Structure 1
Amino acid sequence: MFGLEIIEIVMLAVGALIVGFSKAGIQGATIPAVAMLAIIFGGKESAGIMLPMLIVGDLVAIFKYGKQGRMRDVLKLMPATILGIVLGSLIGNYLNDQQFKFIMGIIVLVCLILLIIRHLQQKVVELPDNKFLHWFVGIISGFSSMVGNASGPIFNVYILAQNLQKASMIGTTAWFFFLMNLLKVPFHVFLWGTITWDTMKYTAFSLPFIGIGAVIGIWIIHNISEKTYKYLIMFTTAIAAVRLLL
């Protein structure tokens, strides 16, 4: 099917499930899916294949949480985010697949470290509200998202420090990633050529699994301890990062 081995089809389906429940459940938990798709399709091509899946997941998150989002917090990051996307697209255009996967592995490791730091924090550390921080977060988020669809934990560290209510935090994150992912589409289509009519068959295959994943995400939020879930994400992320780097 699709010219993939059975294990690769299973990994694609699991990746779609992860996208769904990370968008409707715990934001930023897509890193294992990023690594799985990179193993199947290679670094750059996997970024294009995964992007429409992420946009579908973003729409689910907006439907559920979008009304609570703070658009002013999203829009003030957009100029820097666009710059990060442009930088990522230009640099990524000159990398071979091995280099691309290596950079993705480094980004995944950095995200894993941020997840661990966030887990170990006893309280949320408030960050200063200034333009330099907004530009730094925007550029890093845009670059890491363009190169590896892996800016979730980076942005989570920032949004957690804004001291927002839970619903507002999730809604703001949903809008930020939806807009950022839409901005990335032209670069994947016209510059990298990683989104084509042919690659959209993987998105079509993934749709039901994204929906199932969203339902699982909502169930997990209500029935499984966040601590246990975080340990699982850290473990799978560590394995995926090592696999990308080897």
Structure 2
Amino acid sequence: MLDDPLFYAFAIPAVIILGLAKGGFAGLGILAVPMMALSASPVQAASITLPILIVQDVVSVWAFRHSWDGKILALMVPSAALGIAAGYALAAFVSAAAVELAVGLVSVAFAILRLAARGKEPAAGHSPTAGAFWGSVAGFTSQIAHAGGPPFQIYVLPRKLARDTFIGTSALFFAIINWLKVPAYAALGQFTRENLLTAAALMPLAIVSTFAGVWLIRRMPADRFYTLIYVLLLVVGAKLTWDGATALAA
């Protein structure tokens, strides 16, 4: 287990942020791995985070187990699996920074357009083509750059699901995605004893913070929830754009 106090100074708030994200504040979680990476390598930070995410997924899926959209999952999960496989196969040839920049720019543009049209557009229907496309993009970007949230939201948000249905669908989708990523991490030898023990030490905080996120989000009015998610998507997109652009420039 890691014993560097500096690591935990960053890891503890990162795990709390992950818990709030899993509880329903979608988008916040993208800040967690970069925070941990301030005192550990990005690969190790991601490897420690994945078991934590899987446990937090159990909490969020249980909390919203009665609220999810089967059509969205049927469209997006199989294509996400293909995206993860493509990301694993092409990891040596694709720049994570370029992926972050592309996802960031698309997310910012999408969030601005949707916020500008807030309340003026009818709910979009299901589209097998768009669902499969954004599902594969979510899987690919999740595997390459841990940025699967924005592509998922770009497809799902215009459907204007009920708040709990949106959160439940997101929880199930990313629970499946995280398990699909396990073989790739195992193949890369990232589930070391040190990493797993460090994740275990942070696990109680991860569970408590996820329940806290569920408690908070259920007390937020549904109309404000979607505005918050679009704003978070805008912030996440801006961060991805900045991270990708600065990495490419360097």
Instruction: Identify the TM-score tier after normalising by the shorter chain.
Output: 0.7 to 0.9
Q: Tell me what 2:36 maps to.
A: 37
The whole-number CA distance in structure 1 between the counterparts of 2:147 and 2:102 is: 7
Q: Tell me what 1:188 maps to.
A: 185
Q: Tell me what 2:198 maps to.
A: 202
- Contact 1:20-1:211 within 8 A present in 2 as well: yes
Query: Are 1:82 and 2:81 counterparts?
Result: yes
SS of the residue 1:161 aligns to:
helix
The whole-number CA distance in structure 2 between the counterparts of 1:45 and 1:75 is: 32
- Contact 1:145-1:151 within 8 A present in 2 as well: yes
SS of the residue 1:150 aligns to:
coil
SS of the residue 2:64 aligns to:
helix
Q: How does 1:11-30 map to 2 (within 5 A)?
A: 11-30=10-29
Give the direction of change, closer, same or farther, for the CA distance of 1:103–1:14 in structure 2 (3 Å limit): farther
- Aligned residue type for 1:86: A
Give the direction of change, closer, same or farther, for the CA distance of 1:231–1:205 in structure 2 (3 Å limit): farther
- Contact 1:44-1:147 within 8 A present in 2 as well: no
Instruction: Structure 1 unaligned segments of length 5 or more: list them.
Output: none
Instruction: Structure 2 unaligned segments of length 5 or more: list them.
Output: none
Q: Tell me what 1:169 maps to.
A: 166
2:126 paired residue among 114, 129, 137: 129
- Aligned residue type for 1:10: A
Deviation at 1:48, TM superposition (A): 2.5
Query: Are 1:2 and 2:6 counterparts?
Result: no
User: TM-score with structure 1 length normalisation?
Assistant: 0.80
Deviation at 1:35, TM superposition (A): 2.5
- Contact 2:84-2:139 within 8 A present in 1 as well: yes
Q: Tell me what 2:63 maps to.
A: 64
Deviation at 1:167, TM superposition (A): 1.8
Q: Tell me what 2:140 maps to.
A: 143
SS of the residue 2:205 aligns to:
helix
Q: How does 1:43-58 map to 2 (within 5 A)?
A: 43-58=42-57
The whole-number CA distance in structure 2 between the counterparts of 1:233 and 1:155 is: 11
Deviation at 1:15, TM superposition (A): 1.2
Deviation at 1:46, TM superposition (A): 3.0
Query: Are 1:157 and 2:154 counterparts?
Result: yes
Give the direction of change, closer, same or farther, for the CA distance of 1:167–1:142 in structure 2 (3 Å limit): same
Greater CA drift, 235-244 or 135-144: 235-244
Deviation at 1:104, TM superposition (A): 6.2
The whole-number CA distance in structure 1 between the counterparts of 2:79 and 2:128 is: 10
Deviation at 1:233, TM superposition (A): 7.9
The whole-number CA distance in structure 2 between the counterparts of 1:130 and 1:93 is: 32
The whole-number CA distance in structure 2 between the counterparts of 1:204 and 1:87 is: 30
- Aligned residue type for 2:213: G
- Alpha-carbon RMSD across the aligned residues, in angstroms, is 3.2
Greater CA drift, 55-64 or 196-205: 196-205
User: TM-score with structure 2 length normalisation?
Assistant: 0.79
- Aligned residue type for 1:48: S
Deviation at 1:91, TM superposition (A): 2.0
- Contact 1:29-1:153 within 8 A present in 2 as well: no
